[in-house]
Amino acid sequence: MSQDSWSKETGICVIYINLTIRNPWSDRFEIVGSWSQKLFKHKAWEVEIYRSDTVAELEFKITSQEDHAGITLGLGLISYTLRAQLYDTRHWNYATQCWEIYE
């Protein structure tokens, strides 16, 4: 798939770094806590803590022109993961190449 067709269908991932080591014998997933708040008209933050099959994880992602585009940082160690996001609350319209407008 070319970069042009990928970006038109799924948005633009500006930067994505993810290093993960998982426990292959575990299928655990449990939400420990989740907090979020709207900052501005179309911006919000969210912090999540959960338990999973992660042994170690480091994630950094910046996206644009896709649903809930923004910045994500995730850190995981010994089954606990902390993920923080600063994101746009709108959805991206791929046909018109602009944000959806809801009245």
Q: Tell me the per-residue pLDDT of 11-63, one tens digit each, with 9 for 90 and over.
A: 677 888 999 999 999 999 999 999 999 998 889 999 999 999 999 999 999 98
The residues, ordered by sequence, that sit 6+ positions from 40 with a Cβ below 8 Å of its Cβ are: none
Which alpha helices (H) appear in the chain, and where do they start and end? 3-10
| Any domain includes 101 | no
Is 99 a domain residue?
no
Structural domain including 85 reads 3-93
Q: Which has the closest alpha carbon to 87: 58, 55, 64, 60?
A: 64
Q: What is the pLDDT of residue 10?
A: 63
Could you tell me if residue 72 is inside a domain? Answer: yes
Mean pLDDT of the residues in the chain: 85
Is 30 part of a structural domain of the chain? yes
- The pLDDT of residue 94: 79
Structure tokens at 55: 């042994």
Q: How many domains does the chain have?
A: 1
Q: What is the pLDDT of residue 37?
A: 94
Query: Is 98 among the domain residues?
Result: no
pLDDT band, very low/low/confident/very high, at 71 (cuts 50, 70, 90):
very high
* Residue type, position 19, single letter: L
Evaluate whether residue 23 is within a structural domain. yes
Does 103 fall in a domain?
no
